[in-house]
Structure 1
Amino acid sequence: MDTICRNTTAVHSPATVADARESTRGFLEALQQPAIASDAADSVVLVVSELVTNAVRHGGGTYTLHLTAHPDLIEVAVDDPSSQAPRMRTPDLDGAGGGFGWGMVNDLAHSTNVTHRPSGGKTVSALLPR
């Protein structure tokens, strides 16, 4: 991966999940050379939505979203204060408890990573095709 970043942004809570999706769309729309394809943008927005939702639900309600555009990839990273890593769960098909998000993120991303921060909490990141 080329380490030269073309564009980067951060969104801090108490922004809602909808705010994170909107900020992500704006970030992606501003990208040039190369612009991001529509289906790739939809995947990035979906990953942001899932990671931010997990941070809000399981990470204490606060998060920081970082978006970075590399020449061939979009990097999504979400910081939250919880040390608990995301885990695969059996999806709840009765509609009460979720369980779809982390698997979906892993399916859409080239790679995912969880980094525990020395000061506490974690960063969950995903690299997606541009």
Structure 2
Amino acid sequence: DRGPHAMADDLAALLVPERVLLVARTLRFPATDVAEWDVPAELSGVAPVRHAAEEQVREWDLGVDPLTVELIVSELVTNAVRHGAPPVVLRLLRGESTLTLEVRDGAATAPHLRHAKAGDEGGRGLHICSTLADAWGVRYEAEGKTVWAEIALDGADPPV
């Protein structure tokens, strides 16, 4: 029943200098707050999951712009299909204050922001996501990675 800050304060006295302890609270999302789609490893698979994500956000009625979600999903899924490796999975997580969009793929290659030139045909995907989302990042796993973006729900403070 204690929060992570109180627990961390109590444990700090037990640590020797130059040691770090991470205290976090995790939670399990109810099935009704998670939507997940397998994405075919071809560019033609992007449009159906992009539209499914937009429809899910409209159904959840979160107060976020479904077209913003659709654009972020499109960019992240396209990057995973083009530069990642199967399997590619899109997942939406409806939280109390944020909507989290996750795209998992089987490649460990690191995505990075590029500043595309006017004549470049690509290279804008993560820049678009970083502009539209309140936060984004990458989690590396034993086999692959998950690129995520968070959008604050109406009335909620943006994630830190």
Shared topology, TM-score over 0.5? Answer: yes
Please, what is the CA RMSD of the aligned residues?
2.1
1:92, distance to aligned residue in structure 2 (A): 3.8
List runs of 5+ in structure 2 lacking aligned partners.
1-26, 154-160
**1:46 equivalent in alignment to 2:71:** yes
Q: Structure 2: which amino acid aligns with 1:111?
A: A
Tell me, yes or no, if the aligned pair for 1:44 and 1:74 is still in contact at 8 Å.
no
Q: Deviations along 1:30-50, whole A, 9 cap, x unmatched?
A: 11xxx2336x22211111000
Contact preservation (8 Å) 2:38, 2:90: yes
- Equivalent positions of 1:1-130 (< 5 A) are 5=29, 7-14=33-40, 16-31=45-60, 35-37=61-63, 40-60=65-85, 62-96=87-121, 98-118=122-142, 120-130=143-153
**SS of match in other structure, 1:37:** coil
Equivalent position SS for 1:16: helix
TM-score (norm 1): 0.84
Q: Percent identity?
A: 30
Residue type matched to 1:114 in 2?
V
Q: What CA deviation, in whole Å up to 9, does each residue of 1:36-86 have, x standing for no partner?
A: 336x22211111000000001000354100001112211000000111121
Distance 1:16 1:92, change over 3 A: farther
Where structure 1 has 5 or more consecutive residues not aligned to the other structure, the ranges are: none
> Where does residue 13 of structure 2 map in the other structure?
none
- Larger displacement relative to structure 2 (73-82 or 4-13): 4-13
Runs of 4+ with >4 A deviation = 3-6
Whose relative contact order is higher, 1 or 2, with alpha carbons under 8 Å and at least 6 apart? 1
1: CA distance, partners of 2:96 / 2:140: 27
- Deviation per CA, 1:103-129: give whole Å up to 9, x if none: 1111111111201102x1100011112
What TM-score do the two structures reach when normalised by structure 2?
Answer: 0.69
| Kept after mapping to 2: 8 A contact 1:67/1:76 | yes
Indicate conservation of the 8 Å contact 1:111/1:127, yes or no. Answer: yes
